[in-house]
Structure 1
Amino acid sequence: MVLFPAGGNWGFHGLLVLYLNKDFLNGQSPLKRLLDTQVQETSGAPANEWQSFLRNISVIIWPVEVLVVTVSGGRRLGDYLARTHVADVAKNTNSWRHDLAAHRVTRYTFYTLLATAFYLLLVNALFHWLGL
């Protein structure tokens, strides 16, 4: 069925949801937090949830991402789409729990949730169409 993943696809869809939204907390995934880097808007502010989602939707065409990173010198296709870049930042002394508790739900949070659900439906429909 196109609307809901069958059997073993639940794990794939769960991982895809995590990947698409990995940078939602202050523009940092767990690895970016360890490396003291952050996804930022072109203005230098941390990327919001919507920009972080947009940046990661191009994962489905990862070979193109590799080509764009190689040609552009570091920016991904998703960075161009979301108007973001990854920058070094000062060491974050707060715990991720503290940052999560300080996080406030915004309209971008809702946009991102809806877009994630729609993206999963599209990916599932694509895989169904391809017979995967």
Structure 2
Amino acid sequence: MQIPVNQKFRLLSMLGEHISMCIIGVPLMGLSLLTHGNWGFYFVLVLYLNKDFLNGRSPLKRLLNTQVQQTTDVPANEWQCFLRNTTLIIWPLEVLVVAINGRRRLGDYLANTHVANVSEDIGSWKKELAAYRVTSYTFYTLLATGLYLLLVHTLFDWLGF
């Protein structure tokens, strides 16, 4: 059984994930504004929603030797990783939930997942990518990502952004 990360580590890693996505996102969004488009926002949104796509591990989770896992301690599939990241629009509330309950955020409850420490010998991203096989979860995730983008775009149009 893998050991779930502690509360302090979880909060700091959530902040680290958010900062790393902002480091990628801000220049892309600025570039898209210069080209009179909003493609940068949607590109970053796709990255954020699917950052844990490969074996439940984002780049930061790989550095920290952690992984998104199902509550049965096996790596979360693509769909679960996407589902847990759909709550990014309420990110401050997510932080509050972890601060109160310790380890799981709302997205984890939604997807029935948690973040756990894993051994360093889990494999490199290159090996994981080479071993990756498309499943039905891959298609569900891609379809859901497109629908999520459409909903966000519609909401922003409705709000006048």
TM superposition score normalised by structure 2: 0.75
Structure-2 residue corresponding to 1:9: 38
Q: Given that residues 23 and 39 in structure 1 are in contact (C-alpha distance below 8 angstroms), is that contact kept between their aligned partners in structure 2?
A: yes
- Pair 1:94-2:123 in alignment: yes
Structure-1 residue corresponding to 2:150: 121
1:45 equivalent among 62, 71, 74: 74
Once the two structures are superposed, residues 55-112 of structure 1 have per-residue CA deviations (whole angstroms, 9 ceiling, x without a partner) of: 1000011122122112211211100000000000000363211110100000000000
2:46 is paired with a residue of what secondary structure? Answer: helix
1:87 is paired with a residue of what secondary structure? Answer: strand
Q: Given that residues 33 and 92 in structure 1 are in contact (C-alpha distance below 8 angstroms), is that contact kept between their aligned partners in structure 2?
A: no
Higher mean alpha-carbon deviation, 95-104 vs 28-37, is at 95-104
Structure-1 residue corresponding to 2:108: 79
| Number of residues of Structure 1 aligned to a counterpart in Structure 2 | 127
Please, what is the CA RMSD of the aligned residues?
1.4
Q: Given that residues 37 and 87 in structure 1 are in contact (C-alpha distance below 8 angstroms), is that contact kept between their aligned partners in structure 2?
A: yes
For residues 90 and 39 of structure 1, what CA distance do their matches in structure 2 show? Answer: 13
- Pair 1:63-2:92 in alignment: yes
For residues 98 and 113 of structure 1, what CA distance do their matches in structure 2 show? Answer: 22
For residues 93 and 72 of structure 1, what CA distance do their matches in structure 2 show? Answer: 28
Q: Which amino acid counterpart does residue 47 of structure 2 have in structure 1?
A: L
4+ runs deviating over 6 angstroms: none
Once the two structures are superposed, residues 6-29 of structure 1 have per-residue CA deviations (whole angstroms, 9 ceiling, x without a partner) of: 943100100010110010111100
Consecutive unaligned residues in structure 2, runs of 5 or more: 1-32
Cα separation, partners in 2 of 1:44 and 1:82, compared to 1, 3 Å: same
For residues 153 and 85 of structure 2, what CA distance do their matches in structure 1 show? Answer: 17
| Larger RCO, structures 1/2 (Cα 8 Å, 6+ apart) | 1
Once the two structures are superposed, residues 2-52 of structure 1 have per-residue CA deviations (whole angstroms, 9 ceiling, x without a partner) of: xxxx94310010001011001011110011011000000000000000000
Identity rate of aligned residues, in percent? 70
Cα separation, partners in 2 of 1:12 and 1:43, compared to 1, 3 Å: same
Between Structure 1 and Structure 2, the one with more helix by share is 2
